[in-house]
Amino acid sequence: MKILVPLKRTADPDNANKIKIAAGGAKIVTDGLEPKINPFDEYAVEAALRLTENAKTRVAGDKVTIVSFGPKEAATNIRTALAMGADDGLLFHADDEALDGDLVARALAKVVETQKPDLVILGKQAVDGDSNQVGQILAELLQWPSATFAMSIELAKDKKSVIVGREVDGGVVKLKLELPAVITVDLRIVAPKSVVNNVTPATHVYSDGARYAPLPMIIKAKTKPIAEAPIASLGLDATLKSKYHTFELPPARKAGKKVKDVAELVGLLKSEAKVL
Amino acid sequence: MSKTLVIAEISGGKLKKTTHSAIGFARQAGAPFDILALGQGIGAAVEELRGFGAGAVLAADDALFANYVGEAFTPTVAEVAKAGGYDLVTVTASSFGKDLAPRVAVRIGAGLASDIARVESAGGKLLFKRPMYAGNALGTLELTSALKVVSVRQSEFEAAAPSGGASAVQAVKAAAAPLAAKVQFLSFDEVKSERPELTEAKTIVAGGRSLKSAEGFKTVLEPLVDALGAGMGASRAAVDAGYVPNDLQIGQTGKVVAPRLYFAVGISGAIQHLAGMKNSKVIVAINKDPEAPIFQVADYGLVADLFKVVPELTAAVKAARADG
């Protein structure tokens, strides 16, 4: 079982309200915000690790490879995923402005050709662009079956298919996909029992969330390989299908008034806001 | 000559209201539009779609479309889009539209603008404004490709009302979908609720982790929800804690809503939650922490213990309603 996990370096989403817009709206400035792994991609790493281990030890022959497109500094974020337990990394240098979801998906399709994974698992969206498109585009380019918004993955014993629970409006859809396949993950994929690989004993309970790297793993990760190359080495047509003209801050919402009790609140909702 | 294709969303034979936002967008974009409906047993939905002023309603009624599977739908949508010479294909960015739009874009070689909030026309070009960074920035995007696929945010495009008339209906054959053979639809476990859907509710009451348990939602929040005839929502923290299903999550990665009245109860107001509700018309926040960021966007803030004041509020709402 070989799994490829693409990850994006994004500005700390917990401080997204501190972004600024450059003069003239030319770009979004994230200076001062800590660059982190896109949280949904971090969940994808966790899911990939759970699929390829027997509770705590890697299943022999299984492998998790991380790939990223971005600045050289993204190597740090790949290293974090390696410390979580991934085996190796690929970093293709690119300016974020020279990428769109379509180009990233085309680049991933090239990487899939050489890496030949059984599964590509990635976040359902990156929390900066919020576009929610790379996984779907990749699946279509590869003509692989896929499932978006996964909240559960069960790998069949023969490792030829997966059953994926998809979080959709109004409930959960279950799909069975033949491998190789593409899966994009939603937040509940890191719940204690969300990933079943039929190797890890059913009695094993994962902790909720993505794992933290213990110190020995952080040290070990320093020696794991990350292959770096310019994105041009993939030989893609670099033409983008979309172009941002300007950026702006949304209109700020004014803080309103504090009320002292329920009676005052209900009174204002009736007489002032006229919504009751 | 520009021409727009609207993809309708149909579930269990019923037209979903999400579709009305995509129609609203198509009217704003300005070009004549047709509507494509895919499903099985969709006669009633197609009939309903005839009243929105579309040039034609294209009906793909086939067992292949009994349940939504992207691999089954994409080839037919792409074939209709290409054969009909549409340069703009649009769908509402529900979980259906978010899954389908990028696939269709690939098939027809189009650029994609996803989850847009506004459309503007400048010098003959369409420019799309879309929220980014959890709604903390708006980007103005141009699609440079000849063909364009756009998914629209339901809360930002007013639901189109029927305009009368009766569009012609054309039957469409299902295109071959070889990839669908590798995907088996097993089940749809639907969350049934008597309450209004979040994306359609005029009033929403949302609870956070301060409710402390599933029991807290049931005994404290739900009576208020029902007294108001509201939809019930939750913060990601409450969903993560397992108090309520994820279907109720409001935020950057959950549902984006803009009701007339929004109650945030025991919700601190994390950035990703604000992204899903800050365009609500009137926001009420109840939280015992006076420094909670939710108060910065609330029109009315009540600093109090929710376990004490929510039952009071429920009683007051009931009394106010009884007074008419």
| Predicted pLDDT of residue B265 | 98
d(CA B201, CA A29): 36
Q: pLDDT of A209-248, one tens digit each? A: 999 999 999 999 999 999 999 999 999 999 999 999 999 9
User: For residue B246, what pLDDT is reported?
Assistant: 85
Average pLDDT rounded to a whole number, residues B136-144 = 96
Report residue B32 as tokens. Answer: 């004549």
pLDDT-derived band of residue A161, with 50, 70 and 90 as boundaries?
A: very high
Q: Is B265 helix (H, G, I), strand (E, B) or coil?
A: strand
Nearest to B226 by CA among B307, B318, B320, B309: B318
Q: What domains appear along chain A, each with residue ranges and CATH number?
A: 2-271 (3.40.50.620)
Distance CA B230, CA B219 (A): 16
Mean pLDDT for all residues in chain B: 95
Residue B187, strand partner residues: A174
Instruction: Name the 3-class secondary structure at B255.
Output: strand
Segment B233-245 shows an average pLDDT of 92
pLDDT of residue A93: 98
- pLDDT average, residue stretch B202-217: 97
CB-closest option in A141, A151, A261 to B246 = A151
Structure confidence at residue B320 (pLDDT): 84
What pLDDT shows up at residue B218?
97
Whether pLDDT at B153 is above 90: yes
What mean pLDDT comes out for the span A169-185? 96
Give the residue from A103, A186, A191 showing the smallest Cα distance to A147.
Answer: A186
Range scoring the smallest mean pLDDT among A162-166, A184-188, B31-35, B76-80: A184-188
Instruction: Tell me what percent of the residues of chain B surpass a pLDDT of 70.
Output: 99
Contacts of A86 (CB under 8 A, 6+ apart): A5, A45, A48, A49, A64, A65, A66, A224
How large is the average pLDDT for residues A59-86? 97
Q: Give the pLDDT confidence score for residue B245 in this predicted structure.
A: 87
CB contact under 8 A, A276 and B94: no
Does domain B203-323 fall into CATH 2.40.10.10? no
Q: What is the mean pLDDT of residues A30-42?
A: 96
Q: Name the residue of chain A whose CA is nearest to B285's CA.
A: A258
Those of residues 198-257 in B touching chain A at CB distance below 8 A are 199, 203, 236, 239-240, 246-247, 252-253, 255
> Amino acid identity, residue B118?
R
Chain B: closest CA distance from residue A116 (Å): 18
What tokens were used for A249?
């801050």
pLDDT at A40 over 90: yes
Retrieve residue B27's tokens: 């009217």
pLDDT in tens, B27-76: 999 999 999 999 999 999 999 999 999 999 999 999 999 999 999 999 99
Q: What are the structure tokens assigned to B218, written together?
A: 């049931």
CB pairs under 8 A between A and B: 262
Torsion sign, CA atoms A46, A171, B25, B84: positive
Distance from CA of B164 to the nearest CA of A (A): 29
Listed in sequence order, the residues at least 6 apart from B134 whose beta carbon sits closer than 8 Å to its beta carbon are A13, A16, A127, A130, B251, B252, B271, B272, B274, B275
Q: How confident is the model at residue B19 (pLDDT cuts 50, 70, 90)?
A: very high
**Residue B246 and residue A186: Cβ atoms within 8 Å?**
yes
* Candidates A140, A147, A245; nearest CB to B140: A245
Of B171, B28, B169, nearest to B88 by C-alpha is B28
Domain boundaries, chain B: 4-182, 203-323
Q: Which residue has the higher pLDDT, B320 or B234?
A: B234
Residues in chain B within 8 Å Cβ distance of A15: 271
B98 CB neighbours in chain A (<8 A) are 132, 148
CATH (one of 2.170.150.70, 3.40.50.10160, 3.40.50.620, 3.20.20.70) for B4-182: 3.40.50.620
Residue B323 reports pLDDT greater than 80: no
- CA neighbor of A264 nearest in space, from B259, B241, B212, B300: B300
* Rounded distance between C-alpha atoms, residue A162 and residue A157, angstroms: 9
**Residue of chain B minimizing CA distance to A260:** B302
Which chain A residues are Cβ-neighbours of B260 within 8 angstroms? 275
With contact defined as beta carbons under 8 Å apart, do B176 and B62 qualify? Answer: no
Kindly state the average pLDDT of the residues B84-101: 97
Task: Tell me how far apart the alpha carbons of residues A99 and A87 are, in angstroms, rounded to a whole number.
Answer: 26
The token pair that represents A253 in the structure block: 């919402």
Percent of chain A at pLDDT exceeding 90: 94
The confidence score (pLDDT) of residue B324 equals 59
Which of A177, A53, A16, A120 shows the shortest CA–CA distance to B185?
A177
Q: Region A264-271: what's the mean pLDDT? A: 95
Q: What is the pLDDT of residues A99-110, one digit of tens each?
A: 999 999 999 999
- The predicted-structure confidence for B252-291, as pLDDT tens digits, reads as follows 888 999 999 999 999 999 999 999 999 999 999 999 999 9
Q: What band does B191 get if pLDDT is binned at 50, 70 and 90?
A: confident
Nearest to A242 among B142, B179, B296 (CB): B142
Q: Which residues contact B119 (CB under 8 A, 6 or more apart)?
A: B25, B28, B29, B126, B127, B128, B129, B150
Residues of B in contact with A8 (CB under 8 A): none
3-state secondary structure chain A: CEEEEECCEEECHHHHHHCEECHHHCCEECCCCCEEECHHHHHHHHHHHHHCEECCEECCCCEEEEEEEECCCHHHHHHHHHHHCCCEEEEEECCHHHCCHHHHHHHHHHHHHHHCCCEEEEECCCCCCCCCCHHHHHHHHHCCCEEEEEEEEEECCCCCEEEEEEEECCEEEEEEEECCEEEEECHHHHCCCCEECCCCCCCCCCCCCCCCCCHHHHHHHCCCCEEEEEHHHHCCCCCCCEEEEEEECCCCCCCCEEECCHHHHHHHHHHCCCCC
Q: Is B25 left (phi over 0), alpha (psi -120 to 50) or beta?
A: alpha
Q: How confident is the model at residue B1 (pLDDT cuts 50, 70, 90)?
A: low
Confidence of residue B229 (pLDDT cuts 50, 70, 90): very high
